Structure 1
Amino acid sequence: MSAFGSVDWQWQNATAGALAGLATVTFSHPLDVVRTRFQVNDGRISNLPTYKNTPHALFTIARTEGFRGLYAGFYPAVLGSTISWGLYFFFYSKAKQRYLRNREELSPGLHLASAAEAGALVCFCTNPIWLVKTRLQLQTPQHQTRPYSGLYDALRTILKEEGWRALYKGLVPGLFLVTHGAIQFTAYEELRKVFIDFKSEENEKKSGKGDNLLDSIDYATMGASSKLAAILMTYPFQVVRARLQQRPSAGGIPRYMDSWHVVKETVRFEGLRGFYKGITANLLKNVPAASVTFIVYENVLNMLKFARRND
């Protein structure tokens, strides 16, 4: 493959990833709002309502805050998801191509390294966007401080009141969350091999051909399974990050000073369960979303491949 063709292929991956992320966030955002509010509610916060469970949270937010409440932080979520997926697939495919030099295929370890490398780069690029999204989602009628009016106002206010370093609150657990993408993509790639081998054997038995293609049901199954494994293993890092990214009090005092402070306080007051608050909403949001993401990604990629061959 030429250098031009290699770059072209990387941008095709980025395009497919960005469209996949945009499709995912559009229908799942209310669950993201619920998840964030559960994650930070340690029972000692006065400006957050108490919800019994995910359905009760959705109903309460819709009743008291309306559509605006259910889609709080939607614009930074769309921006962050689109940029993150696009960059993730771009960096991931670029890393895989680099590791594939002088190799016929990548080992699970190299798939893991590719995903981890992509995740770390994306984390540095997008942390300010996710911080703003979290803060917008946590704005409720009970808030005492002046609310942010949107993405731009939030960024301007944070820079003015807290300085640029505040935009990178939660970066440390965010970097640990790189393992989430690494686990998910490694599991996806290994499942893909299993599915292809299985379908190849089935096709050979039926028609003597092994040139089958995976379909959308396969992509959905692989996407959901790999996402479930990643969530169960890395969810506590999400809770720590969300708690660090909360807006400081009116006096400018943050609720938690650093990641270790979050861990100590959570263990002390909530135990192990505190690190899995909001996981139901997270599973409902992300497992089906992962299926949709990989269906869109794989099918867009197949269309781009087809168009490229016909140029």
Structure 2
Amino acid sequence: MHPLDVVRTRFQVNDGRIANLPTYKNTPHALLTIARSEGLRGLYAGFYPAVLGSSVSWGLFFLFYSRAKRRYSRDGEEKLSPGLHLAAAAEAGALVSCCTNPVWLIKTRLQLQTPLHQTRQYSGVYGWTALYRGIWPSLFLVSHGAIQFTAYEELRKLLIHLKSKKTKGDGADEVLNSVDYTVLGASSKVAATLCTYPFQQRPNADGVPRYADTLHAVKETARFEGVRGFYKGITANLLKNVPASAVTFVVYENVLKLFKLTRTKDR
């Protein structure tokens, strides 16, 4: 799914005023153009930082999120209100942003290198300067993860309740399967993306500072591009991240089940 992430990034940063980035009509056109002009290497620009960032981010997020839920739960059970789920996910997202911002910065810069650049400034995961640029917008966007996990938890509770009536199961392990987790992961990701996508601030891809801050970026985008400017690249974003989210939750929930079964047998 990584080529779609490259397309999303390029759509987000191109506001029509950047001379050194090509213009794409839509997602298929972008994929074909990049493949023709840059080859497979262009479609997988920033791949290694993306793999590293995703692996570390998801691992840390689930760690911080589970601990936050435990801390917020007074009776030791995972029966939290939507507000507490939101708080736990936001806390986890903020901690993950602080840990992984340098990796995502490098990935984005590698993805924005095109043949139109006179020189290729970065050849790998090095070039450690200004590694925490964009950290404040990144911290602001923890709302994305907070909304996604709150939607996931609430939809999960609803699905367990509905299926328990039919199967008379005792809990999530008995009534939910991989198909259910796929639907939950995908639908929660769609909800989070639709709510927060317009607030993803775009970097100054050509090195010329055009946005003084987030509010200035919002004003300039609305002025020059209208409402469509806030949703550039959303098709590629959904095509990449919805399946990825579904797979992540299916793997996570099934691995948890496996661990529980192993512990039960050991006892």
Is it true that 1:127 corresponds to 2:82 in the alignment?
no
Q: Distance in 2 between matches of 1:118 and 1:60?
A: 38
CA distance in 2, matches of 1:143, 1:256: 21
Q: Return the match for 1:214 from 156, 176, 199.
A: 176
Q: Which residue of 2 aligns with 1:243?
A: 203
Aligned-partner SS, 1:151: coil
Instruction: Name the structure 2 match of 1:285.
Output: 240
Aligned partners of 1:258, 1:170: CA distance in 2, in Å? Answer: 10
For residues 10-55 of structure 1, give each alpha carbon's deviation from its aligned partner in whole angstroms, at most 9, with x where no partner exists. xxxxxxxxxxxxxxxxxx1100000000000000111111111101
Q: In structure 2, do the counterparts of structure 1 residues 120 and 88 end up closer, same or farther at CA, with 3 Å as the change threshold?
A: same
Measure, in 1, the Cα distance between the counterparts of 2:178 and 2:59.
Answer: 21
For 2:57 and 2:243, locate their aligned partners in 1 and report how far apart those are by CA, in whole Å: 18
| Aligned position for 1:6 | none
Where 2:18 maps in the other structure, the secondary structure is coil
Could you tell me the TM-score, scaled by structure 2's length? 0.94
Counterpart position of 2:26: 53
Identity over aligned pairs, percent: 71
**Root-mean-square deviation (CA), in Å?**
1.5
Q: Is 1:189 aligned with 2:153?
A: yes
Question: What is the CA deviation profile of residues 84-114 of structure 1, one whole-angstrom value per residue up to 9, with x for unaligned ones?
Answer: 1011000000000101123652111111110
State how many pairs are aligned.
Answer: 263
Name the structure 1 match of 2:196: 234
Shift of 1:236: 1.8
Counterpart CA distance in 2 for 1:57 and 1:35 is 9
Q: Deviations over 1:174-227 (max 9, x none)?
A: 1121111111101100111111111111113xxxx5553310100000111111
Verify: 1:257 aligned to 2:230, yes or no. no
Task: Give the distance between the partners of 1:39 and 1:176, measured in 2 at CA.
Answer: 17
| Equivalent-residue separation in structure 2 for 1:247 and 1:271 (angstroms) | 22
Indicate which of 106, 115, 122 corresponds to 2:80. 106
Residue 140 of structure 2 corresponds to residue 176 of structure 1 = yes
Query: Structure 2: which amino acid aligns with 1:256?
Result: Y
The one-letter code of the counterpart of 1:151 is V
Gaps of 5+ in 2: none
Equivalent-residue separation in structure 1 for 2:23 and 2:255 (angstroms): 41
2-structure distance, mates of 1:243, 1:306: 46
The 3-state SS of whatever aligns with 2:122 is: coil
User: Are the equivalent residues in 2 in contact too, given 1:174–1:237 (CA < 8 A)?
Assistant: no
Secondary structure of the structure 2 residue equivalent to 1:254: coil
Q: Distance in 1 between matches of 2:261 and 2:187?
A: 28
> Aligned pair in 2 of structure 1 residues 287, 146: CA closer, same or farther (>3 Å)?
closer
Matched residue type, 1:290: S
Q: Which residue in the other structure is 2:258 paired with? A: 303
Counterpart of 1:243, as a letter, is P
Q: Distance in 2 between matches of 1:74 and 1:284?
A: 17
